[in-house]
Every structure is written in C-alpha cells, then in structure tokens.
Amino acid sequence: MGKIVYLMGKSGAGKDTVYKQVLENKEIEFQKIIPYTTRPIRAGEKNGMEYFFTDEDRFLELKEAGRLIEDRVYHTCMGIWRYFTVMDDQLDPEHNNYLMIGTLESFIRTREFFGDDKMIPVMLELDDGVRLQRALDREKIQEHPRYNEMCRRFLADEEDFSEEKLKAAGITKKFVNNDLQECLREIMLYLKGNL
C-alpha cells in the first residue's frame, strides 16, 4: 500500500527546493502528484512540471465530473486564483508512494479524501526574515513583479499556518530549513522510518 508524503510550509520556506531534492534522492522512490492552478505561469515554470496551468472553465468541468480531491480559491491582488488536485491518470495510491506539495488546508482536504493512514505530513519552517527575503528575490526576477501579492501571501501564511491550526491538524513534527542538506537528511530519516 502506497503513502502520500505531503510537503508544506509558509511561502519562501524552501518547499520547491526540498521537493526537487527529495524526488532526486534515490533511497526512496516517489511519484509526483502535480496540482492544477488558474494563476498565471511564473518565469522559469513549465506547464506540467510545478503545476498544470489551466483556466476557470476546466476547473468547473473537473469539479462537475467529481474529480477534485481538494481545491482552494484565493482572492489575490491579481484576481481569483484557484489551486486544486485532481484524481487523474497520475495517481495509483494503492501501489505507489507519492510526494505532494501544498498548504495546510490542502493537506487536510487530501487527508480527508485518502484517509489518515495514507498521509505523512512534512512541515518546513524558516525564519520570517529569511522567507521574506527569498520571496522578494523570487519576485524581482519576474517580468512583471507583483510585490503586493507577495506581501498578501506572506501575511496570509501567518494565519494559515498558525500554531493553533497546525495543532488542530495533528502536525507536530517540523523541519527547520536553515541548512538545506541537514534538513534533507532529517526528512529522509523521518520518511524511511514511516514508509
């Protein structure tokens, strides 16, 4: 029986980097579950790699077909953006281990869909000042930087990942990402003990 390792953390905590490194680590084989979004593609992203970039019509079509595992909507400074996970061909949870990346909210909804016994949460933490600088550096390289949206996300994360919400979701194990290699070593040890 496969498991779903769910990587989450506030914006700028290093989720994308840790995600790529865990996938490249050959000690444990993971399949990717690529989420969908209606937000605009960022510089350096490729459709089908970080996300499947789609539109509102496709979202409604998948919802109507009953294929959504979880979905979230954000009223951003740039309009409404949806993020969602779809039960599609990339999933065979009975036979494969998967690595997902998302928010606390999406973790909870995915756990409700698949069951607690299928899920292994991995929560990343990092100093707020470092996270903010990383987010700013990432935004600066965009063709059209959206600093107001970056700030909105940063502030929203304070509420979305509050200690009360983490506790209510049963998230007790956290990994501090001050040193990437040490963080990855701790995560891999944790995963080996839980898969």
pLDDT for residue 43: 84
**Which residue matches tokens 């909507």?**
73
Q: What is the mean pLDDT of residues 122-139?
A: 93
Q: Could you report the per-residue pLDDT of 45-101, keeping only the tens digit for each?
A: 999 988 999 999 999 999 999 999 999 998 888 899 999 999 998 888 788 999 999
pLDDT for residue 9: 96
Is residue 1 scored above 80 in pLDDT? Answer: no
Q: Contact at 8 Å (CB) between 100 and 60? A: no
**Structure token digits, residue 70:** 């979880």
The Cα–Cα gap between 146 and 166 comes to 28
Q: What integer best gives the mean pLDDT of the chain?
A: 93
Strands of 79-86's sheet in order across? 52-53, 36-37, 79-86, 68-76
The Cα–Cα gap between 57 and 174 comes to 37
Q: Could you report the per-residue pLDDT of 140-177, keeping only the tens digit for each?
A: 998 889 899 899 889 999 999 999 999 999 999 999 99
**Which residue matches tokens 């019509």?**
57
pLDDT for residue 50: 87
Q: What is the mean pLDDT of residues 108-132?
A: 95
pLDDT for residue 153: 87
pLDDT for residue 118: 94
The Cα–Cα gap between 137 and 148 comes to 14
Helix (H, G, I), strand (E, B) or coil at 44: coil
pLDDT for residue 69: 96
